[in-house]
Structure 1
Amino acid sequence: MTSRSNLHTSKRIVLTGGGSAGHVSVNLALIPVLRDQGWAIDYIGSEKGIEKELVSGLPGVSYHAIATGKLRRYFSLQNFTDPIRILKGVGQSRRLIRRLKPSVVFSKGGFVSVPVVLGAWMNRVPSLIHESDYSPGLANKLALPFASAICTTFPETAASLKAGKAVQIGSVVRPELKSGDASRGLAFLGFGGAKPVLLAAGGSLGSRALNANLRRNLDGVSETFDVVHLCGKNGIDPALEGRPGYRQFEYVNEEMADVLAAADAVFSRAGSNAIFEYLALRKPMLLCPLGRKQSRGDQILNADSFARAGYAETIDEDGWNDADFLSKLNALHDGRELYAARMSGADGGDPLQLLLRQIEQAAV
């Protein structure tokens, strides 16, 4: 009998997505499974984005960099030059895909993915998009007409999109995050375990506002919690290095599963990939979504959905109040068993297997 891995030795997949860790995380979950199934894996990303840092060194993956740009809803001088870079990226993607001859392209979103989906369409290669947020981002909206299908996390998202193209599969969580060890996490952080641990995270690119709000309230927070702070690139505050009960990192990669296992509660932005990881690990959340002044409001929708389900509390960055912040954090800790019980009732099935099935069906 032919083994499952041998069935796929002649198949090749191109993955794309980048700009933030959220646009890479699903691909990171897919890569080891696809590799075990015998797929040849290529990744098309930007020349300097976080996706190159996270993917280019992985075994069994060939990384290809293309030019990319961003389409902004606000005035910027780069609005005049980025369309040229996007067109260049389309040409590079078209040539790459023609040479690689993949069976399917899978896109996690971000602006680097748009030229790749267009390049696949020009070569008549089917492409599949994954949308994590409650409302689709601009990049995925632009790419959707050229894709075979879009897989969504929220059922409301699938209902709002073109019938026949949208499939709701849920959130794909990296399996390795579920194998963390709390004692290893505490040892890595240098915490003794006498206090519960609060994980504060502003996303892979960090958040100056979230960082500042947390640090201004560290004395109050530290009365209840030890704090591990993922503050993003260039977000380290040297004045706080060595402070007891506080550890800060730009980003944690290999030790992330252990850090999450050690965390008792989370203070975070409301990016979809991150909050579904916290949900899968039963971590009560205080969510501070990006406001409409800084975004299209997708994180507000994500956070409101989780608050309605009883998984999280929310706090408004634009109307921030320090006393409210400390009160909500303490209430989150006091009610941790109730939050965990609600999250235990969230049965998401196996989204990773559902996504793999969609890839199989789309492949030519």
Structure 2
Amino acid sequence: MAKILRGATAQETHSAILDLIRSSGTVTRVDLADRSGLTGASISRVVKRLLADGLIIETGYGDPTGGKRATLLQFNPRARHAIGIAVDTPSTTYVVTDMSGRVIEQVSSRGIGKDAPATAVRRITAELEDLIVKAEIEPSTLVGVGVALAGRQGRGGTRLLRTDSEKYAWEPFAVRDTLKDAIDHPIVVENDSTCAAIGEFWAGKIPSVNDFATVYMAAGFGLGLVTNGDVYRGSSSNVGEIGHMVLDVNGPLCWCGGQGCLESLAAPAAVVARAGQDEQLADKLGLRGRRLSTRSDFAKIARLAAAGDPRCVELIEESATYLAKALLSITNLLDLNQIILAGPGFSEAGDIYVRVAAQELNRLSFVRAMHPTRVELSKLGPSAAALGAASLVLHTQLTPHQNTRS
């Protein structure tokens, strides 16, 4: 017997049926009743409302089964739109998507650098208004704006945001409330790694039965966790700080105050620092004197590693090995069947990270005899956090029956 997809409210029931239609491709009313456990009359009422709202469309007829041919229903991704913004030190990325996660418009601008938070938010607001005009979408179809940020999250959308090299932080600043005052749409503010994870689930078409994690690398490492289609956030919405898992008790000091954290051993800054200790490689990469940024220096190393430069391969493999050790602990703790690597840090040499991590998990995972743990690169590319932020808006506004776990 099908599990009854009846929410606590009519809106939740409607969202559950909409999500079922979305994940089914095309489906009939009879199919919906069978799969949802609701009565035919209930399904008819829900479908009538979804059709009126333009969220689904009728798209022909199914094969005859001896009686009247059943009308096929299909999710209408063009009915609503969402905007995702990934705010980072070197760049800010904006995407406009439809309800399927398909990108309609994407632009990038300079990052926040050392801007004061109020200054950065004013600029983001202005660029967002320009984007809506450029994308040529009706404001009435915009269900909300998602903002992906690094750093700790406090109450009320407050963020502590650290840049990649200067250890510069925003003081506790109500990002969500400040944006809400300037933008007449719902605002969702979330950690970049959590955004990347929900982006994989929504836009990447991952089945809701899968438990998976997304590891996001930019300046450091974060982990977003999705279980049965729900985001897991923890008690203060700060779950997944794997960058501060201790891997070496005698290792280097980390900016967080710990010693031997994954971030201090394997993040881009750590890789660049080790490269700088090799005089010949440092000269080759231009690591002496004034440089653009840690992120650009790391990209040089990663590109050479992907091209087969022996010393750069060694550096990236060392970073990947530390990450693999952290992923092994996470997998043994959570019994994951899939890990996705996302974010700009994996753009150039992601295949090396996948190879090293997969080898470690296949060799030592406690559950390896029962099931493999797949390690894959994100199909969403470097814009995973922005796409995920848009997807999180869709997830929050259109599927409220999926209660985000804490």
User: TM-score normalised to the size of structure 2?
Assistant: 0.32
Bigger Rg, which one: 2
Structure with greater strand share of residues: 2
Question: Taking CA–CA contacts closer than 8 Å with sequence separation of 6 or more, which of the two structures ends up with the larger relative contact order?
Answer: 2
Relative to the length of structure 1, the TM-score reads: 0.35
